[in-house]
A and B are shown apart, each in its own frame.
Chain A
Amino acid sequence: MSGAATQAVTEAATQQAQSAGSGFSVTDLIMGHITDGHEIEIPMTHVAIPLPHLHVGAFDLSITRNVVMMWIASGILVTVALVAARRAADPVPSGFRNLLEAFIKYFRDEIARKLIGHDADRYLPYLITCFFFIWTCNLLGLIPGFATPTGDISVTACLAVLAFLMIQAAGIKQYGAVTHFRNIVPGGLPLWLYPIMIPIEILSVLTKPFALCVRLFANMTAGHVVIIGMISLIFILQSAWAAAVAVPFTLFIFVLELLVCFLQAYIFTTLVATFIGMSVHPAH
């Protein structure tokens, strides 16, 4: 027992000496960037604005950094949409409205109508909002000083819950509640297969939104952790020559993050459209 105790003491001593000598803790830096906080920093300055704490009953509804980021994303989307729709009566689109219409047409034809079928236009506003909101939130995280709202598992969990509700609502609207829940298990199976299929299908209804949530959260967080870790390598090695390797690699990962932001928003929306389509047309 004394062997383990001395080992623990030497461990703590070396750790303290290391951190006191370098004055730099990678874990604290990464955790500070990833987790939510009660103050928001203006980018490119060191001014930090404290944000109000707000407790309603048992719920902590403080305005935290991620909440402000989501408001900024919503503000950007509303502004963009209003600017594009200024001359909505004009039958020939031009300029910025043309660009947005290209995106929306792609979503309507290639994703919504192909995956959902005849009733696609009803779900199109939700799918487009989903895509542009997630894309804007992901991109906001790349600005130095801002945080990624979708890098917080609470935000992605809410997006996944809303997707789950949308999928069930689509099935219930199409078939009625009882038939929709019976459609979850495919029909025409031999009788001995049902005790296996029913738990599997019920679990799959729950794991699909869970996978959406974790995929988006992990992709966003992992990208930022890699970027911060690469730059911290310079400080851990205490040498300026490490920058010759670390900075180009970080730049590469940063540009890859731009692609990942778009791709994860696209995958989220396409999967929700696929699940809505499976709900509306259980063509097993």
Chain B
Amino acid sequence: MDPKGLAFLGAGLGAGLAAIGVGIGIGRLAANAMDGIARQPQSAGTIQTAMLIAAGLIEGAALFALVICFLLSGKV
């Protein structure tokens, strides 16, 4: 097992797991936003704004992991 190969493998797996995490998180967020808009169509604008902000913040967390993966694959 070449250490460089393991490092690249770690970087790839890390990026993939981060993508899964953000997919699940933003998916649940969008599902609840849809529920809210379906119940109260007149508050659709507020819900949409809050949804976009929360999606941006959740994606920030996933991009932390992505930055670490970039650093790892760049050092190798």
Contacts and interface: CB of A to CB of B under 8 A. Distances in A.
Interface centre among A211, A218, A264 (most CB of B within 10 A): A218
B64 A214 contact: yes
Interface string B57-76: 10110011011000000000
B64 A270 contact: no
A193 interface: no
B53 A218 contact: no
Interface string A115-131: 00000000000000000
Interface residues of B, number: 11
A61 B67 CA distance: 26
A263 B60 contact: no
A222 B63 contact: yes
B63 A266 contact: no
Nearest to B53: A267
B2 A4 contact: yes
A7 B2 contact: yes
B26 to A, nearest CB: 13
A115 B56 CA distance: 19
A263 B67 contact: no
Contact of B53 (A215, A219, A270): A270
B2 A218 contact: no
Contact of A263 (B52, B63, B64, B66): B52
A219 B2 contact: no
B76 to A, nearest CB: 12
Contacts of B56: 215, 219, 263-264, 266-267
Contact of B66 (A4, A211, A222, A266): A222
Contacts of B52: 263
A44 B67 CA distance: 30
Contacts of B59: 219
Nearest to A7: B2
A63 to B, nearest CB: 26
A107 to B, nearest CB: 14
A84 to B, nearest CB: 25
B67 A214 contact: yes
B63 to A, nearest CB: 3
Contacts of B2: 4, 7
Interface of B: 2, 52-53, 56-57, 59-60, 63-64, 66-67
Interface of A: 4, 7, 211, 214-215, 217-219, 222, 263-264, 266-267, 270
Cβ-closest 4 pairs across A and B: A218-B63, A215-B60, A267-B56, A263-B56
12 contacts: A211-B60, A211-B64, A215-B56, A215-B60, A218-B67, A263-B52, A263-B56, A266-B53, A267-B53, A267-B56, A267-B57, A267-B60
